[in-house]
Amino acid sequence: MLERPRRLRQSSHLRKMVRETRMDKSSLIYPMFIKEGIGIVEEIPSMEGQYRYSIDKMSYKLEELAKAGVNSVMFFGIPNDKDHIGSGAAAQNGIVQEALREAKKRFPDMYFITDVCMCEYTSHGHCGLLKGTEVDNDSTLKALAQIALTHVQAGADMVAPSDMMDGRVRAIRSRLDENGYQNVPIMSYAVKYASSFYAPFRDAAGSAPSFGDRKSYQMDYHNRNEAIKEAILDVNEGADIIMVKPAMTYLDIVREVRDAVNVPVAAYSVSGEYAMVKSGAKLNCIDEEKVICEMATSVYRAGAGIYLTYFAEQIAGFMDKGYIG
């Protein structure tokens, strides 16, 4: 036989040499929950090993991440008070804004991204302003643009709108540009499906809708052509990075989007994926380390160049050990 694919699998050194998918710590982003209050390090029941931190306690985790080589963090804010219009989201003294100021002062070399949405701040738990019982797309755009602006003014290096309102990337880009922040990039949750995999996050952030669901603005998971449409629309509106969310069961979409756009593609391994791995490992059904490595590799193999994951710190360690990368 002239063709023997097994020739290139004969040693660890050779397998690494011809590896088609390569990963780097710089592509990892760790999602972090920041909660109003003092002295808080609070484990999230549905996400074993993940915590809510108050600003005075978040440095412990940021130091841990920096030592592991994970230098990019996405902040999600958990306020004490909520109202019908989510006013705390854009407050200059809001939880994310204050966390950014402290984090940039303590960790100037780290890169801070903020989730731009309203669901954690509204009393009804929806991602925008209501008109009756419907989320009103166009009035929400102004609110989102203002939230993004206050995040950047407080020190955000990048903003990431996750609301799924039509036109929000253009609204945010315009507001940032008008205020002199032309160089701040936008990572758009362009392809965000209405997924059951988000359930632990809603527990973590206290953001479950008080009525109805989010299917009128998040995508139907039966659709793939719509994903390409959403991605291209957001690129045309000024998105610098396109995100697909969730990751694990949407790798076909990651590949489709990668082929369709000329900007970097990110994938978010969401809370439900994390919880399933932790639960499966606890029951001794799976090898946690190996599954984490396989999941991460599959996302990069599908075409993503950026990986948002609660396992970021562990993955960085696995890279150091040569398990993946």
Catalytic positions: 192, 245
Question: Peptide bond before 246: cis, by omega within 30 degrees of 0?
Answer: yes
| Cα(266)–Cα(312) distance, integer angstroms | 14
Q: What Rg, from alpha-carbon coordinates, does the chain have?
A: 20
Q: 247: exposed, middle or buried (C-beta count within 10 Å: 0-12, 13-18, 19+)? A: buried
Strands 72-78 vs 306-309: parallel, antiparallel or unpaired? unpaired
DSSP reduced 3-state for 34: strand
Q: What is the largest CA-CA distance in the chain?
A: 71
The region that residue 192 occupies, defined by phi over 0 for left and psi between -120 and 50 for alpha, beta otherwise, is beta
Is the CB of residue 295 less than 8 Å from the CB of residue 250? no
DSSP 8-state class, residue 197: G
> How is residue 85 written in tokens?
């219009």
Is the CB of residue 95 less than 8 Å from the CB of residue 222? no
